[in-house]
Amino acid sequence: MKTPLRFLALLAAACLVHLPAVHAAEPAAAVQKTRLVLQVSDDDAKKWNLALSNAHNVQADLGKANVDIEIVAFGPGIGMLKEDTPVANRVEDAMADGVHFVACGNTMAAQKLTPDDMVKGLEYAKAGIVRLMQRQQQGWIYIRP
């Protein structure tokens, strides 16, 4: 009887000795960025300024390196991404801070807009609403300011 108990005790001790080494060999879990997608579909400078302020505040609170932010514009909201709008400078500043802007191709075609009419550096999606759906399926947090 002593031999099996002694064997079990030695086995348990050996496992405890090797446990920290096994645990230390596991890679640290990668920290995933917070991903936020904002919808702007209103032709209203106040709404755009709210969305831009929201993006800025999220970056300030979480840190620019810890968050991916995308603002998707379609419908009447696309007009605020034109070069000559009251918020064009803020859009450019937000882009410089790492915020991505996506313009809806369907809306641009309907309004006869081309990339030459728009703030430089935008991304384009065939359908803005589909882009929002895809981002939500990918786990992005969705907000409509």
- Beta bridge pairs of residue 36: 69, 141
Per-residue pLDDT of the chain (145 residues; tens, 9 = 90+): 555 555 444 444 444 444 444 444 455 556 789 999 999 999 999 999 999 999 999 999 999 999 999 999 999 999 999 999 988 999 999 999 999 999 999 999 999 999 999 999 999 999 999 999 999 999 999 999 9
Q: Which CATH superfamily is domain 34-143 in?
A: DsrEFH-like (3.40.1260.10)
Amino acid at 109: A
Q: What is the rounded distance in angstroms from the CA atom of residue 1 to the CA atom of residue 49?
A: 79
Whole-model pTM: value is: 0.78
Q: What is the rounded distance in angstroms from the CA atom of residue 82 to the CA atom of residue 95?
A: 14
